[in-house]
Amino acid sequence: MKFHYIASQQDGRVIEGDVDAVSVQAVLTYLSTNNLKPVSVKIIEERKKEIEIFKARVTITDQIFLTKYLALMLKIGTGLLEAVNILIADFTKQAIRDILYEIRSSLEQGQPFYTTFARHPKVFSNVYTNLVKAGEASGNLEKIFQDLTIVLTKEKELRDQMKSALVYPVLLLIGAVLILMFLVMFALPKIAKVFMDSGFEPPAFSKAVFAVGFFFGKFGFYFIGLAIVAGIVGVVFYRSSIFFQRFIKNLFAGLPLIKNVVHKMALQRFASTLASLIKAGMPLTEALKITSDAVANQAVGDALIRIADQGLAKGLTIGEAFRREPVFPQTISNLVAISERAGHLDEVLETLGEFYAKEIDSSIKELVSFLEPALLLFIGVIIGVIALAIIVPIYQLTTQF
């Protein structure tokens, strides 16, 4: 069972927290062991789990604030447990507060700091957890949190950059779909009905277009309902299933127009993530395996695993192992080999991460510059086909008089 306690410390300060125990007596024993005087102890009623789609989620912005505040508090000499208590009072978002309560409970029970992050893999990445673990082991948590703040901030900037670049194409696509729905489901069937009721025999091309209009006019709402249900189910599965997430990501990664951008994003994540792990003092083989989970790209991830298990583990140098993987450009392989000899691998990887961040920006702009006219052309073609289907029979009708 879970209990919520309020207790006073020896200096008179009142604190509160949650603890798992078999009975109230066990909670009192726990408080006594920690030199706490109990004020009240209550059983926490188990709340029904919220439906995942409606549950407030911890965003990357929340992670940045949490990481930044922890780095700042540790820098000014605040104890870890005290820093968590301050954050609990400062944060209003329940999803973050729940995690902070869990962190405090773990620390009070003597568990390592990183264990709470490890219990939430959907919120905190494997890289985040292992960096905190490395910082805790080396006593350098402050520096780790500072580095994590920088990494998360760059990740957020990259996401925001992509979102802002894709806003106009997405709005254009939505507008195009709404216009086409109106034309095909409402306007076209009514116009087609006028021709059919008049007894005039339109050409085959117009009849085919009118047939499409009649079909969607009759069954269009069923298709819309099916699309809405499929969208909701897809979102639920995407949020709850890691395998479905990987399937969708791999599907998009294989699209011709997006493939180049996705590959550069994977290389950027590889460089920045591996640089952070190496700076934290993690062994290179282990760092490569952790990075393979962070790149969100099957080909790059598998290549990193092979570099660790079939390259470094068999005595190859880093440069030789990278040269055996064609998924990495020759530039990366050469720079890795040079930095290995110079002993500045983490610095070179950071530079590569910044380089690919700029390359991603350029690639996104190129993609958007292609999508905008392509969407406009698509809309024009569809409207042109409908217009021709209407104009041709009208022209034939007028020429008969």
* pLDDT tens string 177-194: 888 888 888 888 887 787
Average pLDDT over residues 208-216: 83
Residue 107 counted as domain residue: no
What's the structural domain count of the chain? 2
Residue 269 counted as domain residue: yes
Residues 43 and 179 in one domain: no
Residues 31 and 178 in one domain: no
Q: For residue 52, what pLDDT is reported?
A: 43
Q: For residue 188, what pLDDT is reported?
A: 81
Contact 185, 217 (CB under 8 A): yes
Say which residue, 150 or 197, is predicted with more confidence. 150
Angle, CA of 163, 168 and 170, to the nearest 5° = 75
Say if residue 72's pLDDT is above 50.
yes
Tokens representing 368?
Answer: 């958007």
Say if residue 325's pLDDT is above 80.
yes
Q: For residue 1, what pLDDT is reported?
A: 63
Q: What percent of the chain has pLDDT over 70?
A: 94
Q: What is the mean pLDDT of the chain?
A: 82
By three-state DSSP, how is residue 92 classified? coil
Residue 118 counted as domain residue: no
Instruction: Name, of 47-61, 123-137, 251-265, the range with top average pLDDT.
Output: 123-137
Average pLDDT over residues 195-219: 80
Say if residue 50's pLDDT is above 70.
no
Q: Residue 243 contacts by C-beta under 8 Å, 6 or more apart in sequence?
A: none
Dist. CA 253–CA 111, nearest whole Å: 40
Q: Which domain holds residue 272?
A: 160-401
CATH number at residue 15: 3.10.20
Residue 92 counted as domain residue: no
Q: For residue 292, what is the enclosing H or E element?
A: helix 284-294
Average pLDDT over residues 138-152: 86
CATH number at residue 349: 1.20.81.30
Q: For residue 306, what pLDDT is reported?
A: 92
Residue 145 counted as domain residue: no
Residue 320 counted as domain residue: yes
Q: For residue 305, what pLDDT is reported?
A: 92
Residues 170 and 41 in one domain: no
Residue 386 counted as domain residue: yes
Residue 143 counted as domain residue: no
Residues 252 and 374 in one domain: yes
Dist. CA 106–CA 347, nearest whole Å: 35
Dist. CA 202–CA 196, nearest whole Å: 8
**pLDDT confidence bin for 303, thresholds 50/70/90:** very high
Average pLDDT over residues 23-49: 72
Residues 198 and 327 in one domain: yes
